[in-house]
Structure 1
């Protein structure tokens, strides 16, 4: 178990289909995006996303709208 808290920001995503469906869609993206489900939303810890991967994450999130 972690013994210290690391500062970070999180992006939360919810959708009409529900958090489980959003999570599955992100995982099925061309570049899979792995988050966690909490309180009915998908949570992406931005500390875990490398700058080189930001465009792929944005593309996966935009793909949720289609």
Structure 2
């Protein structure tokens, strides 16, 4: 079964995950017909998982290199 992630009421199909520096980076594509591609980061704090978009330009450049 495919891995699906819900974020802000949008469903994303996880294409690839890459752990780096205690963060799990995720490359995903929206399944709502827009085919939007996103890079997300998943962190754990106090046994809770948090997922957010990678928005910092410098961090985004590093993440893109991770997925090449």
The verdict on a shared fold, with TM-score over 0.5 as the criterion, is no
Structure with greater helix share of residues: 1
Which band: TM-score by shorter chain? Answer: 0.3 to 0.5
Q: Which one has more relative contact order, counting CA pairs under 8 Å at least 6 apart?
A: 1
Report the TM-score, using the length of structure 1 for normalisation.
0.32
Q: Which structure shows the higher strand fraction?
A: 2
